[in-house]
Amino acid sequence: MAIVGRRLGWLGAALAAAMLPGIARAQVAAGPTIANIRAKGFLDCGANPGSPGFGVPDSRGEHRGMDPDFCRAIAAAVLGDPAKVRFTVLTSQSRIPSLQSGQVDVVARTFTWTMGREAGSGLQFGPITFHDGQGFIVRRATGVERANQLDGATICVTAGSTNELNLADWARTNRLSIRPLVFESNEDTRKAYASGRCDSYTLDASQLAGFRSSFADPAEHVILPDIISKEPLAPAVRKGDPQWYDAMRWTIHALILAEELGVTAANAEAMLESPNPDIRRLLGVTGDFGPSMSLDRRWAYNAIRAVGNYGEIFERHVGANTPVGLRRGLNDLWSRGGILYAPPIR
């Protein structure tokens, strides 16, 4: 009985210590994925071959967009350096096998979170980084104003994407006859539409806005108001390494929390002196939340300093003042009418 009592006393003390923010917790050992990332010295991120605003190589081959910035944030959190990331370009069809095989550590390339991909393919999705939906783009000269006017049309779509299945479901539900023209990549699909091989191009509406901005005269093309699906876009990792999953998703949560708390890339250093307990925990001034994931105490601070908060990332790549020209909408903070919401760090 005395031994049992001592064990229960030790367990109670340990639980109490874990619940108190002021009690230091030792850094846990790195799990297999974080250990491998540190051993090779970089994060391997599955990237988009070309989606303006979300992921596209620039003239120097540097990947620019929201998704590359999320990968840089994760690299900063895990390795302390946003430059320690290698981008592996993946097609829609190669995303899942490349992640399953271990070729990449994380996929962040306009990846829709679905039950089939998570439960059936051995993946785990992080927080939704963009709430989207599938739409259609047409040439203004056609006079088409609504999607149901596309009966009999040839519609370009990318293979291996949720868009292909959604298009078939939508046509069947609405008893429309459409002729899908399927291509390997979004870039091939865009080129086919641009060359006149199809009457319409269907894709996530936000990506259509990006592609529209790349045309010689964007005004010649119209994105129809109809949205035919839910497309929650999120980064994904392999199942089986809960520590890596925690590190990835809490880095994204930290970027959202930073916007909510007014922490930016520019003021993060000054915010270390903030009396706000939420900010102090976010930036690692108090608590040992980073070490609980085998990360530095300043993991979130490093990520925010590297790429800014979620709002900064959004406005830099797809916001109203960019060629993509999107409004925040659903992707605004919950406190401003959107549905962007992150759990607290405490």
- For the chain, residues classed under CATH 3.40.190.10 are 32-129+234-336, 133-230
Distance CA 323, CA 87 (A): 24
196-228: pLDDT as tens digits: 999 999 999 999 999 898 888 999 999 999 999
225-238: pLDDT as tens digits: 999 999 999 999 99
| Parallel/antiparallel/unpaired status of strands 85-89 and 134-139 | unpaired
- Per-residue confidence (pLDDT) for residue 26, from 0 to 100: 66
Token pair recorded at residue 51: 């989606």
Annotate 16-54 with DSSP letters as a single string.
HHHH-TTS--PPPPP-HHHHHHHHHTSEEEEE-S-BTTT
* Three-state DSSP state, 133: coil
Third-level CATH fold of 133-230: D-Maltodextrin-Binding Protein; domain 2 (3.40.190)
Distance separating the N- and C-terminal Cα atoms of the chain: 35
75-100: pLDDT as tens digits: 999 999 999 999 999 988 899 999 99
Confidence of residue 23 (pLDDT cuts 50, 70, 90): very low
Query: pTM for the complete prediction?
Result: 0.88
Third-level CATH fold of 32-129+234-336: D-Maltodextrin-Binding Protein; domain 2 (3.40.190)
